[in-house]
Amino acid sequence: MMDRESRAALRRAPVRPTTYRLRSIAVSLLKVTPARLALAGFTLMIVLFTMLLMLPSATASGERTSLVDAAFTAVSAICVTGLSTVDTGIHWSTFGLTVIMIAMKLGGLGLMTLASLLSLSVMHRLGLAQRVLTATETRAERLAEVGGVLRIILITSTAFEAVTFVALTPYMIITEHGVGRSMFLGLFYAISAFNNAGFVPEAQGVAQYLGDPFFSIPIALAVFAGSLGFPVVLVLVKKLRTPRRWSLHAKLTLTTTALLLALAWLGYLLLEWANPATLGEQPWHTKLLASGFAAVMPRSGGFATLDVNALTPESRLLTDLLMFIGGGSGSTSGGIKVTTFALLMLSIWAEIRGNPDVEVFGRRIPHETIRQAIGVLVMSATVVFLAVFLLLRMTSFSLDQSLFEVLSAFGTVGLSTGITPHLPADAKWVVIASMYVGRLGPMTLGAALALRRRSRMVQLPMDRPIVG
């Protein structure tokens, strides 16, 4: 034990610069931020569900799944992607499918949302710190709206999943799946659809439901609702009859979503109308329904009634673009988000017209917001480029196949040209990283890894380089 004089002398001793720097780094790392908490929470869930999926009871054959395949499935489920290195309907047992279903539900709600819902149910209130953390996850516009957003999240997710379950289960029973099996399939499809996961528990896949309105319409509606984003759903619930009072975010999201959906529907219909491998031999009503279903899925749904490999090159390119854009902010979908895409297009339009500001719906967009949109675009494109480059180096697949796979992973979509099960182990880890970064977002990942934020008291003189 040290006496009082020794302890006082130790406190008076100067701290070395190296020690001080290490101490500062440690303090910075220990600071709890929404980004770091999200990273830590998703990582812990991935580890947990990977261990569960590696259990022999999780497979239909009773054999243990390899680490890379279990981790791939766990990340795909938690990041609500839907890509899989094994046949989901054949490889996994009922227990394994249940684990995947729980992972999809937790991943869709988000760690911050789940923690806040538990806080609401136990404490019946939210502290300021919890509201700040949850505001980041749910994209709430004001801290006072967080509690309402959380309730809307719980109500809408449960309601849409319940409605989808009720719509699908009787149909599954009629199509001779059995009562117990039909209820399980209905629940699995409902959770997978609303959370935009795209996992299919049947060995036959969803191609068997091509042009089937009793399956396609409930699934498409659930995927569409889940991809809007909870802030938009909150606005619609509170102000459905007064569109003039909708927030700018809600107006921008709904308008851009409607335009993208209409263009995608028309694009798939025209590009695949005469394709004998997809819609060429189908009646006109099947063509309309199937192309509409295909237009919704790249938002992050991942269900495919049409063979992706049989699509025309133009349709696959259109799918690439839609997967990169993704769905709404604060939703279960991935991509750069439709608001980011809309802001970039509005910025280009303002530049073409020579307007000093970006304006939409009678509002002026701050320059900081445009910079954030550009940052998201550049960082996302960088992640996609690096992942495609690595896949091309590690595999013999074409650029078209590799790009499609990476965009599907980054956009947490789940559509595939069929190369996922044939990827080598190192390439699977590349796709895993793409799903992980795509779910959390490049900007969130960068903020979580940053140790400090610099502020400058002195600004350098301004100069203008030549652009273009």
pLDDT of residue 259: 95
pLDDT of residue 465: 77
Distances (CA, A) of 403 to 249, 368, 374, 406: 30, 31, 21, 5
- For residue 139 the two structure tokens come to 């994209």
pLDDT digits 0-9 by tens, 188-211: 999 999 988 989 999 888 989 998
Helix (H) or strand (E) holding 145: none
Q: Which of 194, 316, 198, 332 is nearest to 264 (CA)?
A: 316
Distances (CA, A) of 224 to 14, 296, 328: 61, 7, 10
pLDDT of residue 39: 73
Query: pLDDT-derived band of residue 452, with 50, 70 and 90 as boundaries?
Result: very low
Q: Are the C-beta atoms of residues 228 and 327 closer than 8 Å to each other?
A: yes
Q: Is residue 413 part of a domain?
A: yes
d(CA 269, CA 265) in angstroms, rounded, equals 6
Region 157-175: what's the mean pLDDT?
Answer: 91
Whole-model pTM?
0.84
Q: Is residue 10 part of a domain?
A: no
- In this predicted structure, the answer to whether residue 127 has a pLDDT above a threshold of 80 is no
Range of the domain at 141: 31-449
What are the backbone dihedrals phi and psi of residue 68, each rounded to the nearest 5 degrees, phi first? Answer: -70, -40
Region 75-87: what's the mean pLDDT?
Answer: 92
pLDDT digits 0-9 by tens, 255-280: 999 999 999 999 999 999 999 999 98
pLDDT digits 0-9 by tens, 51-66: 999 999 999 999 999 9
Let me know if 240 is exposed, middle or buried by CB neighbors in 10 A (0-12, 13-18, 19+).
Answer: exposed
Region 428-456: what's the mean pLDDT?
Answer: 71
Region 113-125: what's the mean pLDDT?
Answer: 50
Q: Is residue 11 part of a domain?
A: no
Average pLDDT value for the chain:
82
Identify any residues that bridge with 59 across adjacent strands, giving them in sequence order: 92
d(CA 79, CA 396) in angstroms, rounded, equals 27
What residue type is assigned to position 34 of the chain? P
Which residues have CB under 8 Å from 406's CB, separation 6+? 384, 387, 388, 391, 431, 434
Lowest mean pLDDT among 134-143, 331-340, 433-442: 134-143
Q: Give the percent of the chain with pLDDT over 90.
A: 49
Query: pLDDT-derived band of residue 71, with 50, 70 and 90 as boundaries?
Result: very high
Q: Is residue 16 part of a domain?
A: no
Region 400-412: what's the mean pLDDT?
Answer: 94
More confident residue, 108 or 81: 81
d(CA 132, CA 144) in angstroms, rounded, equals 10
Identify any residues that bridge with 364 across adjacent strands, giving them in sequence order: 359
Query: pLDDT-derived band of residue 373, with 50, 70 and 90 as boundaries?
Result: confident
Query: pLDDT-derived band of residue 131, with 50, 70 and 90 as boundaries?
Result: low
pLDDT of residue 34: 55
pLDDT of residue 40: 78
Helix (H) or strand (E) holding 118: helix 111-123
- In this predicted structure, the answer to whether residue 219 has a pLDDT above a threshold of 90 is yes
Indicate the angle between helix axes 284-296 and 248-272, nearest 10 degrees. 140
Q: Is residue 3 part of a domain?
A: no
Lowest mean pLDDT among 12-16, 225-229, 236-240, 407-411: 12-16
pLDDT of residue 247: 84
Q: Is residue 271 part of a domain?
A: yes
pLDDT of residue 449: 47
Let me know if 462 is exposed, middle or buried by CB neighbors in 10 A (0-12, 13-18, 19+).
Answer: exposed
More confident residue, 322 or 7: 322
Q: Is residue 125 part of a domain?
A: yes
- In this predicted structure, the answer to whether residue 81 has a pLDDT above a threshold of 50 is yes
DSSP 365: E
Query: pLDDT-derived band of residue 123, with 50, 70 and 90 as boundaries?
Result: very low
pLDDT of residue 129: 55
- In this predicted structure, the answer to whether residue 121 has a pLDDT above a threshold of 60 is no
DSSP 233-297: HHHHHHHTT-GGGS-HHHHHHHHHHHHHHHHHHHHHHHHHTT-TTTTTTS-HHHHHHHHHHHHHG
pLDDT of residue 335: 87
pLDDT of residue 396: 92
Q: Is residue 374 part of a domain?
A: yes
Region 364-389: what's the mean pLDDT?
Answer: 89
Query: pLDDT-derived band of residue 108, with 50, 70 and 90 as boundaries?
Result: confident
pLDDT of residue 122: 45
pLDDT of residue 234: 78
Number of folded domains in the chain?
Answer: 1
d(CA 19, CA 171) in angstroms, rounded, equals 67
